[in-house]
Amino acid sequence: MVPNDPTIQLSILQKRHGSPLAGKPGQEKTLKLVKQDFQWSGMTKFIKDYVSSCQQCSRKNNIHHKKLGLLKPLPIPNGPCIFLSMDFITQLPLSNSFNSILVIVDRFSKIAVFIPTMSSIISPDLAHLFIKNIFSRHGLPSRILKISRDLSISYDPETDGQTESVNQILEQYLCMYGSYHQDDWNTWLNLAKFGYNNFDNSSTKQLPCFTVYGRDPQFDSVQITQENPAVKVSTKIQSVQQDVKRELEAAINQFKRYEDKSRGIPPDFNPGDMV
């Protein structure tokens, strides 16, 4: 029976937990090693506290608890082209002197723009591309999410899921229609944009192009006449955008419920706490 002396107890733990012969085992294994030869009052709690405070163990052990922090979805915009997300696809084969694609997606309508560029682009040139392709058509957005340079086109849901999923669709399109050497991809970007913006979006249940413009894009030159087209289009756009907002809220709530199953509520820390 070990006396109630922390110095002696620590000396035992340093040998049964910290020495190379012990190999810094976890709490239960350390407890079993100590119990082989020693006993003292409050030993279990003392050992668990000691092992949990071991900095080397904290650094080497994998974290097995849930990811801390419940999902906090981004706010839903009130209309198109208010909140955009941007991403770079880089390290592509040279195509007409371009090696990257700037992907811009509207978080409300999901309408997308694919712009060929260079990975070495600097801020003034990026601003010029933005003015030419976005500002000149839709004005200045209230918010832009995530400007980054991804080294591949592969899907990564841990980053910005919206632009990453669009990247995946764009990759599939370019693989299907581009040349064998993949050196003509820049010539397909406008057609890829047309095709993507004419896809029914899984979140909004609408075509991105229809959400913004109130009509489906035409594939041929057939003319379809309507009575009071401006009035009908305006009313249709308002109705569609209300539906889009409801669908986005439902999709976000569903995704949050799914994500929160694998997440835990973060603990509250106070000044002086050991973390």
- Tokens 């029914």 correspond to what residue? 200
pLDDT, residue 263, reads 72
Considering only CA atoms, which of 255, 251, 244, 234 is closest in space to residue 106? 244
* List of domains in the chain: 6-68 (no CATH), 83-240 (3.30.420.10)
3-state SS, residue 119: coil
CA distance 82 to 141: 4
CA distance 114 to 195: 12
Max Cα–Cα distance, the chain, nearest Å: 97
pLDDT, residue 97, reads 93
CA distance 137 to 122: 22
Kindly report the length of the chain. 275
Q: Tell me, letter by letter, the H, E, C secondary structure of 25-87.
A: CCHHHHHHHHHCCCCCCCHHHHHHHHHHCCHHHHHHCCCCCCEECCCCCCCCCCCCCCEEEEE
* pTM as predicted: 0.60
pLDDT, residue 153, reads 32
The residues with which 271 forms a beta bridge, in sequence order, are: none
CA distance 14 to 24: 9
pLDDT, residue 225, reads 58
Cα of 244 vs its chain's centroid, Å: 21
**pLDDT tens per residue across all 275 residues of the chain:** 888 888 888 888 888 888 777 778 888 888 888 888 899 989 999 998 888 888 777 665 555 556 666 667 777 888 888 889 889 999 999 999 999 999 999 989 999 999 999 999 999 999 999 999 998 888 888 777 654 443 333 333 334 567 788 998 898 889 888 888 889 999 999 999 998 898 888 888 888 888 888 877 776 665 655 555 655 667 777 777 788 888 878 877 787 777 777 776 666 667 766 55
pLDDT, residue 193, reads 92
Contact in structure between 273 and 53 (CB atoms under 8 Å): no
